């Protein structure tokens, strides 16, 4: 995320969309490991592993999507302050 430009809203939207796409891809990959034809995806160990992978994917998503959202919130707050100061 450090190499992302977030100065304009379209860049922030794109960063959030990219984070969402990565998250969906990660969840699909996890689901696919559980859908093995030989039922290997239904053992307790594989279910626990999948849960941990989903938690990790969720954490990454929250961070990647949260940064553009936080920038947008800061821009909106700054805009509100400028409007207030302008009277």
pLDDT (tens digit, 9 = 90+) per residue, 31-56?
888 876 666 667 888 889 999 999 99
Reported residue count of the chain is 87
Does residue 4 fall inside a structural domain?
Answer: no
Report residue 10: phi and psi, to 5°. -65, -30
The total domain count for the chain is: 1
Please say if the pLDDT value at position 1 is more than 60.
no
Indicate the burial class of 25 (C-beta count within 10 angstroms; 0-12, 13-18, 19 or more). Answer: exposed
Alpha-carbon distance of 2 to 50, in angstroms, equals 28
pLDDT confidence bin for 12, thresholds 50/70/90: confident
Cα separation, 35 vs 20, whole angstroms: 22
Residue 70 to residue 67: CA distance in whole angstroms: 5
- pLDDT tier at 75, thresholds 50, 70, 90: confident
What DSSP element (H or E) covers 38? Answer: none
Please give the residue range of the domain that contains residue 43: 9-86
In a domain, 56, yes or no: yes
Measure the CA–CA gap between 25 and 32, rounded to whole angstroms.
Answer: 11
Residue 60 lies in a domain: yes
Say what the pTM is: 0.70
């Amino acid at each position: 995320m450090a190499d992302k430009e977030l100065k304009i809203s379209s860049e922030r939207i794109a960063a959030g969309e990219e984070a969402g796409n990565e998250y969906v891809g990660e969840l699909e990959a996890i689901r696919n490991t559980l859908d093995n034809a030989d039922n290997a995806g239904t053992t307790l160990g594989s279910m626990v592993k999948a849960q941990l992978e989903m938690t990790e994917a969720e954490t990454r998503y929250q961070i990647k999507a949260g940064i553009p959202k936080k920038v947008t919130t800061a821009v909106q707050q700054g805009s509100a302050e400028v409007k207030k100061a302008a009277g």
